[in-house]
Amino acid sequence: MEWTRSETLAHAAPGCNTCLGLGLRIGRNETTHPCNCVLRAIFRACFEHFRDCVSRERYISKVTLDPLPGKDRRGAWGRKSEEFSADFCLISKRTLTPPEYDIFKYHFLLGADWKLCCRKLNMDRGNFFHAVYRIEQKLGRVFRELEPYSLFPIDDYLHGPVKGVRSCLAEGDVAPVRPPLRAA
């Protein structure tokens, strides 16, 4: 997956010393990579939506009909909030190592503060926060680069990408619209 500056610029931290607020780092062979501040921002946006989905009352959940491609034009019913929450947890569990998942489970899912996590996991404060940042970066990258349906951008996950909308400028065989000229 190719990362562009327009994707990363909005999520970059303005005070980041690595990317200087631009969101991209230049690696070996002049390849561009997203900065760690962007990956952490992607994780935090997904985590905020996860917390919003989990904190809603069960009777507030709404069912949506998603159209499926094909001749019959049938649709699939789904509960997007519950699906997002389940995908968030399952992707995290599959991606992280068991020690990382323990930190993720205690700190993010169960909401324990750093003191309780450090006591429970027998870690010091510095190692705990370094592990939290690595987890956020790792999951932020996975949430964005997951194929075929990534969790981020969240609107694309919930509503699907806008399909069928094409610009006439992108097509080579369509002439631009020109107003008629008055004869002199």
For residue 34, what is the domain's CATH number? 1.20.140
Distance CA 165, CA 116 (A): 51
- Domain extent at residue 71: 5-156
12-60 residue pLDDT tens: 888 888 888 888 888 777 778 888 999 999 999 999 999 998 887 776 6
Q: How far is CA 39 from CA 3, 111, 164, in A?
A: 11, 21, 30
Residue 20 Rama label (left phi>0; alpha psi -120 to 50; beta): left
Judged against a pLDDT cut of 50, whether residue 168 lies above it is answered with no
Exposed, middle or buried by CB within 10 Å (0-12, 13-18, 19+), for 40?
Answer: buried
Inside any domain, residue 12? yes
Inside any domain, residue 161? no
Inside any domain, residue 90? yes
Judged against a pLDDT cut of 70, whether residue 166 lies above it is answered with no
Judged against a pLDDT cut of 60, whether residue 162 lies above it is answered with no
The size of the chain, in residues, is 184
Q: How far is CA 160 from CA 64, 119, 152, in A?
A: 12, 42, 11
pLDDT at site 99: 94
pLDDT at site 165: 47
Inside any domain, residue 184? no
Lookup result for tokens 């956020």: 136
| Maximum Cα–Cα distance across the chain | 88
Domain count, the chain: 1
Distance CA 167, CA 41 (A): 31
Core vs surface per residue 83-118: b (16+ CB within 10 A) or e: ebbebbbebbeebbeeebbebbbbbbbeebeeeebb
Inside any domain, residue 165? no
Inside any domain, residue 172? no
Q: What is the mean pLDDT of residues 119-143?
A: 94
Inside any domain, residue 19? yes
The SS3 of residue 78 is: strand
Inside any domain, residue 169? no
Judged against a pLDDT cut of 60, whether residue 83 lies above it is answered with yes
